[in-house]
Amino acid sequence: MQRRLLLGVAFLLVFLLGMASERYWPELQSMLLDPVSADANGAPSAPAGAHLIVDMRTSSVDLVDGNYVLFGEIVNQGSVEGSTRRLTVTFRKNDTMLGERSYPRVLGPIAPGGRLKFTQKLDDPPPSAVDIVPSVE
């Protein structure tokens, strides 16, 4: 009796692991085939290629001559220099997205670890927006 129960539990466990591996196979495959590189101390190294982000700590929006203007800095957290193609600004109120504006902006090249300041006049922001979230491509 106990042996049958043990075999049944083992069969169920193998079945569930098989189902889970089939469901999550793409994620498992990417983890196994594309491991995160690390430095000598085991800390993750910089992403391969350019990795450009807007530094939210240095970003601000001010009213200048009756227009809202975004001031910010772009940081390259990657391992090679890179340039932006577009600045996208998302307008939010709490968890609700009120709108989005994209501006073609070629900025750079920005060296690895480098920073570049920018300004952008915001066209017709929604009047009830409380959060403005910039991003770059």
- pLDDT band for position 123 (cuts 50, 70, 90): confident
Q: ∠118-122-126 over CA atoms, to 5°?
A: 145
Q: Where does residue 134 rank: exposed (0-12), middle (13-18), buried (19+ CB within 10 A)?
A: buried
Reference 134, options 66, 65, 74; nearest CA is: 74
Q: What is the mean pLDDT of the chain?
A: 81
pTM of the full predicted structure? 0.63
pLDDT for 56-74, tens place per residue? 999 999 999 989 999 999 9
Has domain 52-136 been given CATH number 2.60.40? yes
Reference 86, options 74, 103, 69, 99; nearest CA is: 103
Q: ∠89-90-96 over CA atoms, to 5°?
A: 170
